[in-house]
Amino acid sequence: MKRLSRIKTTAISATMIFGLSTPAMAVDQGITFTGLITEQCAVLLGVPGTLGVSPDQTILSSEESGGNAGTAIVTTNGLGSNIQVVVPTSFAIGPASADDNVTFAGDYDLSGSTILSDIVGSTTSALSLGVTTISVHASATKTTGTFEAGTYQMVPIVRCLSS
């Protein structure tokens, strides 16, 4: 019995020392992760514009004395994005005669990832990938008469289109 015990002990020791045990099996399998980012264009409004008035009071414009452009930050993640400014066809706020005999116009400049200047508002422009600042100018011109006293507000729309 002692001899059998000694043989078992020797066999176990040899197995441990020489690695004669049954090897453990390892199986590797990769897990795939997939994601999709759709092409997007985001517009973050910046500084509102200010309308100045011409000396003869026939033009309200961000390019007149006292006027300033409105700004927005546009971020794109693809090369299929375009931008345009939709010029208003009336004042959002104004005296009763505000829209009588008035022509509205606008233009914009782009800086940052895309650089363009003096683009007519309704013109669609391709945007580069990244962050672009748009500066929008808006104007209203009386074709007959002058603007009456009061508060005026127009709201051009910055439109970003992704394909």
Cα 137 to Cα 80, 89, 90, 160, distances in angstroms: 25, 15, 16, 17
Q: Among 22-36, 96-110, 127-141, whose mean pLDDT is lowest?
A: 22-36
Each domain of the chain, given as residue ranges in start order, spans: 41-162
CATH class, range 41-162: mainly beta
State how far the Cα of 125 lies from the Cα of 79, in Å rounded to an integer. 12
Kindly tell me the sign of the dihedral angle through the C-alpha atoms of 8, 12, 18, 20. Answer: positive
Share of the chain above pLDDT 90, in %: 79
pLDDT reported for residue 163: 77
- Write down the pLDDT at residue 98: 93
Question: For 84-131, how does the pLDDT look when each residue is reduced to its tens digit (9 = 90+)?
Answer: 999 999 999 999 999 999 999 999 999 999 999 999 989 999 999 999
- Residues 92, 97, 100: CA angle, nearest 5 degrees: 90
Residue 3 has pLDDT above 60, yes or no: no
- The per-residue pLDDT for 56 is 97
Contacts of 88 (CB under 8 A, 6+ apart): 104, 138, 154, 155, 156, 157
Min mean pLDDT across 39-43, 58-62, 139-143 is at 39-43
For the chain, give the number of residues: 163
